[in-house]
Amino acid sequence: MAVTIKTEREINIMREAGNILATVHDELAKIIEPGITTMELNNFADKLIREYDSIPSFLNYNGYPASLCVSVNDEVVHGIPNKKRKLIEGDIVSLDCGVIYNGYHSDSARTYAVGKISPEHQRLIDVTKQSFFEGIKFAKAGNHLYEISKAIQKYVEENGYSVVRDLVGHGIGQNLHEEPQIPNFKQIGRGIKLRPGMTLAIEPMVNKGVYDVWFLDDDWTVVTQDGEYSAHYENTVLITEGEPELLSIRKGRTLEDEMYGR
Ligand code: MF3
Ligand code: CO
């Protein structure tokens, strides 16, 4: 299937889906503290998503058993919530969530500090977030997809970290995963030409140490091979003729609000 161009009607629904998803993330951020279990975070998100007349898109996706991915410390992505896993002070936790609203998906991820963390781990979180914004400077009609990939990698590596190679971002719309695949690292060629109405989930996964990862026997959890910490940041993005629009943020907020955290 080719890359789809969304109509204004579809984009409006995706804005709604994204507003709901951003609300879920904001509420999750408020309850992160030492002692909470990763399952409690999942259950909180699942309940809230349904209250907003949405469906948790990750639940049962290719057999994934939960509504939220909760990846702690050296877990890169797809950590499975567990009622025995309590967050402790000094952890970093990535929350990846997706909703379906009115037939359309939104997908986003954030990484948070649990209590007080080391300055180096805070820098890992900050660089990961900023790498997304460095990448989307190139997310504009007429540019080519891999300009985004290259910019993400450049920023991450200049800051001394590495970009995961085994997982990529993706197109998104009526399906969670649509074409194209969006690597966060340099490719051969320049990729597809970006057009207004494309909707892309751009999601750098950044490791403090080596980029190599293992896939655990639970079939899901991805961890760093060297045990160093990893961070994740993702938004659903609309390509326009000008600055991209972030579809997975709260209504009324801008790309700049989100980037500067104001
Ligand atoms: N953001 C992740 C992705 O795009 C979430 C998928 S997790 C799954 O791959 F559980 F839904 F598989
Ligand atoms: Co995604």
pLDDT of 1 reads 72
Residues having C-beta closer than 5 Å to ion ligand 2: 107, 201, 203
Measured in Å, residue 181 CA sits from the centre of ligand 1 at 13
69: Cβ below 6 Å to ligand 1?
yes
Helix runs in the chain, H state only: 8-31, 38-51, 119-136, 145-158, 255-260
Q: Calculate the CA dihedral of residues 87, 164, 23, 67 and round it to 10 degrees.
A: -70
Residue partners of 7: CB distance under 8 A and separation at least 6 = 197
46: Cβ below 6 Å to ligand 1?
no
CA distance 43 to 251: 24
- The pTM score is 0.98
Encode the chain (262 residues) as per-residue pLDDT tens digits: 799 999 999 999 999 999 999 999 999 999 999 999 999 999 999 999 999 999 999 999 999 999 999 999 999 999 999 999 999 999 999 999 999 999 999 999 999 999 999 999 999 999 999 999 999 999 999 999 999 999 999 999 999 999 999 999 999 999 999 999 999 999 999 999 999 999 999 999 999 999 999 999 999 999 999 999 999 999 999 999 999 999 999 999 999 999 999 8
Strands (E), the chain: 55-56, 68-72, 75-77, 92-101, 104-113, 162-163, 169-171, 178-182, 199-202, 205-207, 213-215, 222-224, 230-232, 235-238, 245-246
The first and second tokens of residue 188, run together, are: 């051969």
Q: Tell which one of 58, 164, 170 to mutate to probe ligand 1, the residue whose CB is within 8 A of the most ligand atoms.
A: 58
Measured in Å, residue 87 CA sits from the centre of ligand 2 at 23
The closest residue, in CA terms, to atom 2 on ligand 1 is 96
pLDDT of 194 reads 98
Measured in Å, residue 98 CA sits from the centre of ligand 1 at 8
197-243 per-position pLDDT tens digit: 999 999 999 999 999 999 999 999 999 999 999 999 999 999 999 99
CA distance 21 to 44: 13
96: Cβ below 6 Å to ligand 1?
yes
- Which atom of ligand 1 lies at the shortest distance from residue 169's CA? 4
- The residue type found at 177 is H
CA distance 3 to 58: 22
CB 59 within 8 A of CB 46: yes
pLDDT of 212 reads 98
